[in-house]
Each structure stands twice: as C-alpha cells, then as structure tokens.
Structure 1
Amino acid sequence: MGSWERPYWESTVDSGVPRAAQRSGAYRRYLPDAIDGMALAIDGDLSRDVAVVERKLRALNGPGAEGLAGIARFLLRSEAIASSRIEGIAPSAQQVAIAELGQSESVRGVSEQAQLVANNMTIVREATTELVVADKVAVEDIVELHRSLLPNEPRHHELRTVQNWIGTSDWSPIDAAYVPPDPDRVVGLMTDLLRYLNGAAHAPLVQAAIVHAQFETIHPFTDGNGRVGRALIHTVLARRGLTEQAVLPVSLVLATLTDEYITGLDSYRHDAAPGSPPAGMAINAWLRTFVTAAEIAVEQSQQLVSAIEELRERWTERLAEYRMAAGLRAAPRADSAVARVLVHLPEAPVLTATTLARILDVSYPAASAALDELRQAGVLATKSIERGTTAFIAREVLDLVTWSERALASTRFDTRRAEPVRPVPARPQR
C-alpha cells in the first residue's frame, strides 16, 4: 500500500529569503506502491466506459487517420513551446509549418520562436517513435526522452538525486502541495514502472492512465516531469496499437481540466492508514478522470476527421469547377500529382515544388504544375519564402488547427460556450 512518510527537513538557509522558508521541521512525503503485477479491480461501469472509448479510439485509425495525424502534431506544439521555454506570443501554426519546411529547404524570415518549436516537434516525435517501436523500454530510454524535451537544460538531465517538491516554496518542502519519494527510491520505482509499461496487464487506456499517474507521482527529474509524463501517455497508447497514426490530444484536455486533473492525481496517491479508502477505489477515481479526458479527446478528434473530410470535399469541388472552366475533365486522374497532393495537404499544409517532388517522387515540373493548378483553383495560397522560391499554403488547414486548439482550451470544449482558459492562438481572420 502507498503511504505518507513524515521525514524531517533540516534547513540550511539562514538569510536572504523569507523567514518561513528558513524553518526546519517535518513534512509530508509520499511513497507509492509498486505497480508491476498489482491486482486492480476496475468498477463495472468504468470498465464499460473504457471499452467504449477504446473502440472509438481504434476507429480513428480508419479513413482520415493520415489527415488527423498531421493536424494532431500541430495541436501538440504547445508541448514543444513549453520545452523551449519560449515566452511571449507563441508562433502561429503557419509560422511553425514554414519553420518545419526550413529544416529541409532554405527559408528566410522565420522567427527564432518558430524555429525552436519546429525543432522540438521533430525531436519529440522522433524520440517517442523510438519508444513505440522498441521491444522493451528501459530507464535509460526515459532519461534520453527527457534530454530531448529539455535539450538546453543539462543540469536537469539524469534521474534526480535530491529531494524535490511541488508548490509553496523554492527553499523548503514544508507545507508543499506534493512531495514525491525520497531520491534513493527513484531508480527502483522507475524500474518497476517500466516493467509495468512493457507488459499488458490492463487495458491500454488503463495502462496509459496508470503509467502517467505513477510517473508524475515518482517525479523522477528535477524539472520537465510534466512533459515526459504526457509523452508517456502517447507512447503507451501507440505501443498498444490504439493510436497507429494520430496522436490523441488527451494531454491538452487534462491541461484544460486542471482542477479535475489535480484532484484525480491526489486520489491516485492513496494511503494505507486505517480509515483511508481502499487502493482500488482510489485508483478508480483517477481512472475516471483520465477516461473522461480521453473520451473528450476522442470526440474532438472525431470532429477533426469530419472537418478534414469536409475540407477535402470543398477542395475537390473547387478543383472540378476550375478544371471544367479550363476545358479539362472535372476530376484529374487518381494517380496524378494534383490528385495525390490533396491527400497530403492536412499533413503538409505548407509545400514547395521541391518538397512535393520529394514526397510524391515526381519531377520538379510536375510538382510545380500541380501546386499552381491548386493555386488557380483557390485551394492554395502563395508566399515568398526565399529568393526565387514560393511556398504554397493550405490556409484552411492551418485555420482548422487554430480553431481546434482553441476548442481544446475551453472548459466546454466549444469556444461558443466558454472562452479558452489558457494561452491559445488568436481567432483566424479569414
């Protein structure tokens, strides 16, 4: 059973900080259960909810999954923004997309913010992909993931060897909101956590919830725990086959439902003391919070899939109207560059002829002609990004990203019913 310890804090600070931060005394520190091989009875209603959400989540891997995967990566750029310690106004989806293009082509005028976010998106995507395909995830892999999330913070790399805590004071854990286990316990607890992650004792959604809560409870790094913990949600769901292509934005939902999230984690940290709720009841309380967030994330993803399909239908109609007015057959050949690029636009909403030629494995003239045809049909807009180089931009895709990000930051997940509660991009003007 998990338990709360009462160690003594001996302050070494005697000046330069408020008097309250100088005091010594007992504090409350949590020691969690091991989770590998634990017996867990899940409430009947909750288990049925898990089954429904997992079924809906698997359905997202069907038609439209590629487009959802491309857009979901932009929705999760908030993680990259946090990882880069970027302050002030976050770069727009278009700025980040152009910066991504700059990783393979020469692009001028890209802001440093956008470059940092694009680089971090790439690093995080590569790191989590490696964890998904690994036969076994080890402690060293999590340390490496942490390095990728905090590339410019070497002092925080490696598992912690000091006591850390959340809230109240930078100088003392006394009266802190939460104090994780003694640093001497971290290696053992992380080893146990990864044994559980490498298995399949519970349903994928349940496993993702427990891995996340246990990681946040261990708090194994001196900084960046939230970012790694959220990445592990996506890692578990992908390793178990629930999200083959798209990333479920459950972490963004949890970031919006802050109070419910904190309450859920507090419930997970059950106590073995007499009179405390049983461990199973406490864990079930957290699972309800997580499954509710996952259900909301699935609903938002379903709406995205529908929006992407509607967008493709509008593109097809515009292209048909343009081609017929130009004396061409309404629909291009299915294997033509024009038809194929429409499939890729949600994933790559900013393209050049050079990039498209590489993606489709066609000649530069064929790629250039396809992009120009879509421009004339009103599907793409243009922007000069380098002398002699033009980018073709699917602005409707980028607007869809912005509207979705704003909705995920609303406590009603609909900005018509409640405004966003955390920083988000401004409404699209077009």
Structure 2
Amino acid sequence: MKGYGLSFHRGRQRVRIIAVATYLEASWPAAWDAPGKRDRRGGLYRPYLPDLLIGRSLVVSPGVAQEAAKVEGLVRRLVAHSAGHGVDGLARFLLRSEAIASSRIEGLQTSPQQVALAELAAHETGVSRGFTATAALVANNVTALRQAVTGLVSVEALSTADIVALHTVLLPDEKHHGLREVQNWVGGGDWHPLDAEFVPPPPEHVRPLMDDLVSYMNTAEHAPLIQAALAHAQFETIHPFTDGNGRVGRALVHTVLARRGLTPHAILPISLVLLTRSDAYIDGLTAYRYAGDPHSAESRQGSDTWLRIFLAAAATAVEQAERFADELDELHSEWLERHRRYRESQGLRATPRADSAVARLLSLLPAAPLVTARTVQCLLSVTHPAARQALEELAGAGILHPKQVERNTRGYLAREIFDLLALTERRLASTRWDTRESPPGRIVPVRPQH
C-alpha cells in the first residue's frame, strides 16, 4: 500500500501528516444539548483521507484518453464558432444559473432580463429600479464569479491562498472564511457525522491536501479535461470550507480549462449538466474515492468511472452550447434581413457601412442584450447622438425594444436573445436535454410567452 508524507506548520509546531488513501476511524462525542435523542448520540465515524495528486501516477485507460481527445476537439470547435460574441453572452447567463443552483438563493426565481437590469445598474449610475433584490443578488454573484475566475487564470502559479480568496469573493457573507478548522460532512444530520453520506478528511489534513491540489493544478501532466475532472473531484473530496464548497469547486473547473487555454472564457456549462444528472455525479465522486493502493484495479476503475461521467457531461455541455450558438447565428441572419427591409422602407441604403455604429451594435447585441445610449457610447466609442440614432434604428426594425428603467434612462432589450437564453437554461435542466420529453428538474426561467 502506497503512503505519502507531507509537512506543514501550525504556529511554531511542525506537523507531519502520513497518510494513504483510506477511511479513518474517529470518535464523535455525544452532544447533550442537541434537540433530539438521535441528535445527541456519539460514536464512531469514518472520515476519508484521499491520496495526493502529485506523484500519484494516475494511468488513464486508452478508452478514456480517446474520449477526452474527442471531447476536447468538440470544445475547440465550439470556441471557434462564428457566434463568438453570443457564446460569451451565454457564459454570463449560464454562470447566473450556477449562482442560483449552488447558493442559498436556490428556489428563488428571477428572469434573465431582471438580472441584466441589475448588472446594468451595477455599472451605470442613475439606474436603480426595475429589478428585484434577488436579481441584484444573483447579478453580484455572477460578477464575482467571473472576476474571480479571470483573476485565477492570470496568475503565474496558483496557491492555496488564491483558492481561499476565491471562496471569500464568491461567499462574501459567509461567517467562516479560510480553510476549515472543524470536521464537516455531507448528508445526515446537523449535529454529528454518524449518519453522513460522506465525511471529508479531518481538518489537520486540509492544508497539506490543498497545497498538493494547487501544485497539481499548476502542472500539465494530464489533458485539460482530465485535469479539470481530477481537480474538481479532489477538491470536493477535501471539502476545505465549512460552506460553499460546491460553488468554489465548480469555479475551479472553469479555472483549469481557461488556464490550459481550452476555453478562453467560462463558456462550458459542465457543472450544470452534472447538476441535472446529479445521481451519476454523486456515483462518480464516490467511485473516485478509492481506498488502498492507487495502482490497484479498484483505483483505476474508480478513476475511469468518474472521468467517463465528467467527459460525458462535457460533451453534452458542448452540444447544448453549440445548439445555442447555432440559434444565435440564425437569429442574427434574421435580424440582418429585418434591418435591411426597415432601411429600405425608410429610403436608406439597404446595408449600412460595416464600420457604422448601427452595424457594429447589431453584432454586439448577443453579448449585451440590454443597453442604454450611455452603454453604447462606451462599447463603440461613439458620440451620444450616434448611439441614440443606432438604438432608435434597431428599435424601428423590431430588433430592440425600449424599456424605461429610470425617469431619464431608457433601456433597449433584445428580447429574442433573452428568449434563447431562457430556453437554453430550461433544456440544460431537463434530464433528456429537451423539455418536451422531460420537464426541468430545478428552478429555471419561465418559458417565453411572446
């Protein structure tokens, strides 16, 4: 049985952790102040201690390696899709879905338009009405996630402190920031881990395991998708924070893929697919947590099981994101025709100049489906009159729809973009990726009515 040693410092005391991938035995004291008899009991429980990633010498089976190469090719094709700006827009709203699904506000519904208004308010002075408090909370969460992931992608080498900082940004109101110093668990009751579905490593093992994890994330030992899968599974196994582990673990998937250059932005909704197929996700993580020799058949089979589930989720994520991108292309072609007819009806040349404000704005709408004249000024570096004229022209063509968001501020919405975003989110929440065959299994935007 392979063991490992790792040292770290706690104050002035040097602590050396010797471990193997195994289930430990620990004793939980009775809690006499607990509300019920079942909650008060103490006894033995079994926290899991994973093997290190560095030096583990994981051998990926030929079948899994081939599948990883195939899915990686699909991801690169998606990144090169002609609807590039729109895919960036998809990223923002898919991150919005993750913010809802992995936070305390799960169960509260807010529309893409509401979140867009809240995001607009965060960046433009004078806009404060027209959106709900829930939408503002989600918008802040999305912004924090995007900024945090971007920051982690740009650093030369990741550190445990970077992951702790990411946790702080994603959960600013969390009472306990920093690596946990207590035992936590998944499932069961609130008072003890005796009935838990999974008990992560004891707290004294968290820092050395996290240092090992970030060291692995700084390597290129495995293909990007394999590395993202292993980093996510190891992080969720360590469960280094008292709360918010799911949200941080999802962000790390995006971080690995972006750092390896596979996805320039967080555009791959792998975690949303895993959330929809939650039973398979949990089964995969359970299989990953082998006990004993990492070279054993059980270990290899467990890793392969998890990797196949993750790669299947990645393939589905690409398929759904590409479907959205294709729909964006179709919509853009329809817009061009609609715009041409409108200009002809106004006695203008059918096609505007390629460098004109209105032509450039039309290309940017998928990434910015809610704008004001001030927003367009900043995006296109044009004068206020030019921005206003471009907006009014696209509104006249039925591409944008005016919406008064403040007394002196008029917003313009590309409703059809929001409709596509809502339909995509609904599909991603269906176990068959088609709401006609199975309804969404979690809170999603309502189906567009117009």
Task: Give TM-score scaled by structure 1 length.
Answer: 0.97
Residue of structure 2 equivalent to 1:402 = 422
Give the counterpart letter for 1:100 in structure 2.
E
Question: How is 1:25-424 mapped onto 2 (pairs within 5 angstroms)?
Answer: 25-62=43-80, 63-81=82-100, 85-86=104-105, 89-105=108-124, 106-107=126-127, 108-153=129-174, 155-272=175-292, 277-424=297-444
Kept in 1: contact 2:179–2:240 (CA 8 A): yes
CA distance in 2, matches of 1:340, 1:327: 21
Once residues 108 and 33 of structure 2 are traced to their aligned partners in structure 1, the CA distance between those partners, rounded to angstroms, is 37
- Structure 1 counterpart of 2:37: 19
Deviations 1:163-209 (A, max 9, x none): 00011111111121000001000000000000000110000000000
2: distance between equivalents of 1:304 and 1:127?
25
Identity of aligned residues (%): 53
Deviation at 1:281, TM superposition (A): 1.7
Amino acid at match of 1:97: A
Aligned equivalents of 1:333 and 1:78: distance in 2? Answer: 37
CA separation in 2, counterparts of 1:249 and 1:23? 42
Deviation string for 1:393-429 (max 9, x for gaps)?
Answer: 0000001110000000000011111111111111111
Shift of 1:109: 3.0
Q: Deviation of residue 88 (structure 1)? A: 5.1
Q: Kindly indicate whether the alpha-carbon contact (under 8 Å) linking 1:65 and 1:245 is maintained by their aligned counterparts in 2.
A: no
CA displacement at 1:278 relative to structure 2: 2.8
Q: Give the Cα separation in 2 of the matches to 1:7 and 1:84.
A: 30
- In structure 1, how many angstroms separate the alpha carbons of the residues matched to 2:233 and 2:197? 16
Q: Which residue does the alignment assign to 1:425?
A: 445
C-alpha spacing 1:350/1:53, structure 2 compared with 1 (3 Å): same
Match of 2:3 in 1: none
Taking a change above 3 Å as real, the CA distance of residues 9 and 84 of structure 1, as seen in their structure-2 partners, is closer
**Is contact 1:410–1:418 with CA below 8 Å preserved after alignment?**
yes
Mapped to 2, the partners of 1:343 and 1:60 lie a distance apart of 18
Distance in 1 of aligned mates of 2:101 and 2:77: 31
Separation (CA, whole Å) in 2 of partners of 1:186 and 1:15: 28
- Contact 1:84-1:116 within 8 A present in 2 as well: no
Offset, 1:366: 0.4
Structure 1 Cα separation of the partners of residues 262 and 163 of structure 2: 21
Q: How far is the alpha carbon of 1:273 from its aligned partner? A: 7.8
Measured in 2, the distance between the counterparts of 1:52 and 1:44 equals 12
**TM-align CA RMSD:** 1.6
**In the TM superposition, what is the alpha-carbon distance from 1:114 to its structure 2 partner?**
1.3
Amino acid at match of 1:195: S
Give the whole-Å Cα distance in 2 for the aligned partners of 1:390 and 1:302: 33
* 2-structure distance, mates of 1:238, 1:117: 23
The residue identity in structure 1 corresponding to 2:165 is: E
Rate the CA distance shift 1:416–1:368 in 2: closer, same or farther, 3 A.
Answer: same
Find the aligned partners of 1:255 and 1:396 in 2 and give their Cα distance: 26
Structure 2 residue matching 1:76: 3-state secondary structure: helix
Per-residue CA deviation, residues 142-172 of structure 1 (Å, 9 max, x unaligned), is 111001111111x221100000001111111
Query: 1:181, 1:292 → 2: CA distance?
Result: 28
Question: Structure 1 stretches of 5 or more lacking a match?
Answer: none
Cα distance in 1 for residues equivalent to 2:285 and 2:43: 26
What is the alpha-carbon distance in structure 1 between the residues aligned to residue 56 and residue 34 of structure 2?
47
Write the distance in 1 (CA, Å) between the matches of 2:379 and 2:365: 11
Q: In 2, distance between residues paired with 1:112 and 1:181?
A: 37
Count residues with an aligned counterpart. 428
Task: Give SS of 1:156's match.
Answer: coil
Change (3 A) 1:136 1:386: same
**Per the alignment, do residues 84 and 34 of structure 1 end up closer, same or farther by CA in structure 2, a change over 3 Å counting?**
closer
SS at match of 1:102: helix
For residues 302 and 42 of structure 1, do their structure 2 counterparts lie closer, same or farther at Cα, with a shift above 3 Å needed? Answer: same
Q: More displaced, 247-256 or 87-96?
A: 87-96
CA distance in 2, matches of 1:87, 1:406: 15
Give the C-alpha shift of residue 15 in structure 1: 3.8
CA distance in 2: counterparts of 1:157 and 1:147, whole angstroms? 6
Decide whether aligned partners of structure 1 residues 312 and 131 sit closer, same or farther in structure 2, where only a CA change above 3 A counts: same
